[in-house]
Amino acid sequence: MIEHLLESIIIHGWLLFWTILIGGLLIRLTICLPSYNRPAKSNKSKSGNVSIMIIWGSGGHTTEMILLLKKLKVEKFQPIYNVLANTDETSTRKIQASESPILECSSWHRIIRSREVKQSWITTIWTTFLSCWQSIYIVITLQPKLILCNGPGTCVPLCYAAFLCKFFGFFSPTIVFVESFCRVEKLSLTGKLLYPVVDKFLVQWPDLLKSYARAEYLGDL
């Protein structure tokens, strides 16, 4: 009789423990997930500057990011951290050729691609793990107050690493995602993956607002 009573107490104790733990994690997740009606907190430092991490992609993503950065006042964003894939030499040359002012006042960091073109899916498991691990390390080490990205797959592990930092209370970066200009009616795969966790989701076509309530249309960026 006593043994059954003790067993029942232990079982109910564990059930209560896991209920409280899971409930607490869900509440924390709800608090961390961006809300359409809750503006992102200001991340300005006492000096008025905001540290920014710019995540570069390849091809059209690089071109769009260069055009976007021309509209930003570089002096308000210090320090500037640039992150791109370790094999993305095309973007490197394109950025250098742009003669952007950020080249003179920023640092550069590289991470492994989650998946290269034509890479086998089996080996992708390992490279994805390495990419996520590097992303967590970079985000925690640099602790940017603002993360700006516009669609390359490289930004997915970095943005989720930043979200995990929010979840566990390390620090709270503001994540801004700008959907590609070529996405008129549907989001890119990267956009769909990041839509739930970014603080600002900007689109360049008003038709996207019909399906994605949290998106913001600011015109042609």
The pLDDT > 90 percentage for the chain reads 30
Q: Could you give the CA distance from residue 67 to residue 63 in angstroms, rounded to a whole number?
A: 6
Q: What is the pLDDT of residues 169-186, one digit of tens each?
A: 889 899 999 998 888 889
Q: Enter the tokens of residue 133.
A: 């691990």
Q: For the chain, what is the mean pLDDT?
A: 82
Q: Does any domain span residue 199?
A: yes
Of the ranges 62-76, 134-148, 180-194, which one carries the lowest mean pLDDT score? 62-76
Total tally of structural domains belonging to the chain: 1
Of the ranges 2-6, 45-49, 150-154, 189-193, which one carries the lowest mean pLDDT score? 45-49
Q: Does any domain span residue 212?
A: yes
Q: Does any domain span residue 4?
A: no
Q: Could you give the CA distance from residue 219 to residue 221 in angstroms, rounded to a whole number?
A: 6
Q: Does any domain span residue 92?
A: yes
The domain spanning residue 137 has which CATH number?
3.40.50.2000
Q: Does any domain span residue 2?
A: no
Q: Does any domain span residue 210?
A: yes
Q: Could you give the CA distance from residue 56 to residue 158 in angstroms, rounded to a whole number?
A: 11
Q: Does any domain span residue 110?
A: yes
Cα-based distances in Å from 210 to 91, 115, 187: 33, 32, 12
Of the ranges 21-35, 47-61, 203-217, which one carries the lowest mean pLDDT score? 21-35
Top pLDDT among 165 and 26 is at 165
- Type of residue numbered 82: N
Of the ranges 1-15, 50-64, 78-92, 126-140, which one carries the lowest mean pLDDT score? 1-15
Q: Could you give the CA distance from residue 141 to residue 70 in angstroms, rounded to a whole number?
A: 27
Q: What is the pLDDT of residues 76-108, one digit of tens each?
A: 888 999 999 888 888 888 888 887 777 777 889
Domain that residue 93 falls in: 33-217
Q: How confident is the model at residue 36 (pLDDT cuts 50, 70, 90)?
A: very low
Whether 50 and 75 have beta carbons less than 8 Å apart is answered as no
**What pLDDT does residue 70 have?**
83
